[in-house]
Amino acid sequence: MKPKKTEQNTEQMIKEAAKKVFLERGFDGAKLRHIAEESGTTMAMVNYYFRGKEQLFQRIFLETMGVFLGKVISILNEEVPLEIKVWKVADTYTDFLQANPHVPVFVLAELQKDSSEIFEKLNVKSLIESTYFTKQLQIEGEKGTIRNVKPLQLIVTMLGSLVFPFMAKPIVSYIGGMDDAAYKAFLDERKVIVFETIMAYLKPV
């Protein structure tokens, strides 16, 4: 006989189901019945634990954005040489996005809306500005070991280069005539290309 589900297990089960549904359908396309069906519960139970779709979505989105940004912020704060840091961002982020292919489209689609409140809750501006990476770029620029660069420009260039192939996977795979294995090999090549591109850009003028 199977043990009864505890309230905590039920809540977690609904949250995991909601994450899957929201990532695949976005906020507008996801319905409470989809979440209830995916979690094997009922719409009444979803409402009981999360007080509706809006509250559940905000919780999932904040957690997803937290993971999405948290990995790169963690690397940017490591006190290692820039060359190692740039490679770790390219390598770690590509692997993360391969394991979570729906995240980029989900996050960027929702960010087209007014997301200032979400950014404030995540404290994104302060997190990026206070990273060791920002200080490191300034120090290395003053020493002349790299060109003077704006940290935000560099971060956006790195992440944009890494995220785009996931957002454009259908057309990239089509143009390259790639199956899943070939696409994975393509992404591994991208790690090296992005790394070499960023390091070439950082060379002092």
HEC string of 94-128 equals HHHHHHCCCHHHHHHHHHCCCCHHHHHHHCHHHHH
56-62 mean pLDDT? 81
**Average of pLDDT values for 22-51?**
88
**What is the spatial distance between Cα 98 and Cα 169, in angstroms, rounded to a whole number?**
11
| Structure token pair of residue 151 | 């940290």
Q: What is the pLDDT of residue 24?
A: 83
Q: Cite the DSSP H helix spans in 30-150.
A: 32-39, 43-50, 53-76, 82-99, 103-111, 116-122, 124-129, 132-143
Q: Is the pLDDT of residue 8 over 70?
A: no
pLDDT in tens, 123-181: 767 877 889 999 999 999 999 999 999 988 998 899 889 989 988 889 999 999 999 99
Q: Could you read off the pLDDT of 74-123 as tens digits, one per residue?
A: 899 999 999 999 999 999 989 988 888 877 777 776 666 655 566 666 67
